[in-house]
Amino acid sequence: MTTVAKSTAHSVVEATPRGKAVAGAIVILYAVIAILPLLWIAATAFKSQSDAIAYPPKVIFQPTLEGYVNLFTVRTRQTREFIANLPPATTWYDKLVRNHDMVIAGPSKVVPRFINSLVIGFGSTFLAVLLGTLAAYAFSRFRIPLADDLLFFILSTRMMPPVAVAIPIYLMYRQLNLTDTKIGMILLYTAVNVSLAVWLLKGFIDEIPREYEEAALVDGYTRLQALRKVVLPQAVTGIAATAIFCLIFSWNEYAFAVLLTSGDAQTMPPFIPFIIGEGGQDWPAVAAATTLFVIPIVLFTILLRRHLLRGITFGAVRK
């Protein structure tokens, strides 16, 4: 593979038109292949039960909302006579379910799980960003003894395998009655996220010139006023990017969630694989849940595009 196409006629750094075309073709081919699994899942969400497990796999099919209906409801199988004797179905989803000799018995657990994901995600993100901003400001602006060691300590807590961390947390939470509680999960995710928040935000605050605050101090502001009125407005993009990274972590986290929650505080990732229908995983419903779960991440990725590199390297590489 040649990196810089040979040419004498134009700039040596710019690739030749042919070099660009070849590169573009290969990259686009890779991107299309890489995105196919996600498109397949999004399509499976609109398949009927039988289309989802058809052989050969169906690319063209009659779209249906069965998967989404199954995701949000619990159904019971009934005899034709029983269904015939029921008052006529009033809603489109009742009709859809009755076509399969079933009756909706009630809502499924997906909405509470989704709410858990939101509450735990936003709760831990808010706390991590709050604590992280304060600590990052202190590390950025003040001389703190052993600052490098403290920063390394903060980062190193992130290096531990989650299953290993979960063992003592499990015992501790059992003693404190925090097992399977939202507050317990929020605290745990805050602790994991705060290390990322401190490192990222320190990078962002380091980039804000000190002169701004010093001028504010000269004008009679206190440190806290200067922080609130000068530094925070300047750091707002960095804080937002950091918050989104924390939110994505909490949203996606599985190991702690599966080991420390079972019901009340269970989030989506441990819940999705156990969406089952009659005889095994209900694939259209699983695909529907996956699609709904992934859409916010896709939006966030597009929003974060400029800060992605910083986020995934703990601020080590900034472009």
Partner 1 sequence: MTAIIHPDAGADRIGAQARQAATRRVHGLSDRSIAWLFVAPTIALLLAINIFPLIWMIRLSFTSLNLSMSYLPLRFVGLENYSDILTDDDVWIRLQTTARFVICSVALQVVIGFGLALLINRQFRTHSFWTTIILLPMMLSPAVVGNFWTLLFQPQIGPFNYVIGLFTGIPPSSFSMTGEVALAPWTIVLVDSWMWAPYVMLICLAGLRSIPDYIYEAAEVDRASAWRQFWSITLPMVMPFLMLAVLFRAIENFKMFDMVNLLTSGGPGSTTELVSITLKRAAFEKWRTGYSSALAIILFVTVFGAANIYVKALNRVKQR
Residue 26 beta carbon to partner 1: minimum distance, rounded to whole angstroms: 6
Of 16 and 78, CB closest to partner 1: 16
Residue 2 beta carbon to partner 1: minimum distance, rounded to whole angstroms: 4
Of 98 and 132, CB closest to partner 1: 132
Of 69 and 135, CB closest to partner 1: 135
Residue 152 beta carbon to partner 1: minimum distance, rounded to whole angstroms: 6
Angle, to 10 degrees, between the axis of helix 147-156 and the axis of helix 110-141?
170
Residue 8 beta carbon to partner 1: minimum distance, rounded to whole angstroms: 8
Of 74 and 299, CB closest to partner 1: 299
Of 23 and 105, CB closest to partner 1: 23
Of 104 and 154, CB closest to partner 1: 154
Residue 181 beta carbon to partner 1: minimum distance, rounded to whole angstroms: 14
**One-character DSSP codes across the chain:** --SS---SSS-SSSPPHHHHHHHHHHHHHHHHHHHHHHHHHHHHTTS-HHHHT-SSPPSS----SHHHHHHHEEEEE--HHHHHHSPPP-SHHHHHHHTTTEEEEEE-SHHHHHHHHHHHHHHHHHHHHHHHHHHHHHHHHS--TTHHHHHHHHHHGGGS-HHHHHHHHHHHHHHHT-TT-HHHHHHHHHHHHHHHHHHHHHHHHHTS-HHHHHHHHHTT--HHHHIIIIIHHHHHHHHHHHHHHHHHHHHH--HHHHHH-SSTT--HHHHGGG-B-SSSB-HHHHHHHHHHHHHHHHHHHHHHGGGHHHHHTTTS---
Residue 279 beta carbon to partner 1: minimum distance, rounded to whole angstroms: 14
Q: How many Cβ atoms are within 10 Å of 213's Cβ, its own excluded?
A: 21
The rounded radius of gyration (Å) of the Cα atoms in the chain is 26
Residue 261 beta carbon to partner 1: minimum distance, rounded to whole angstroms: 13
Of 86 and 183, CB closest to partner 1: 183
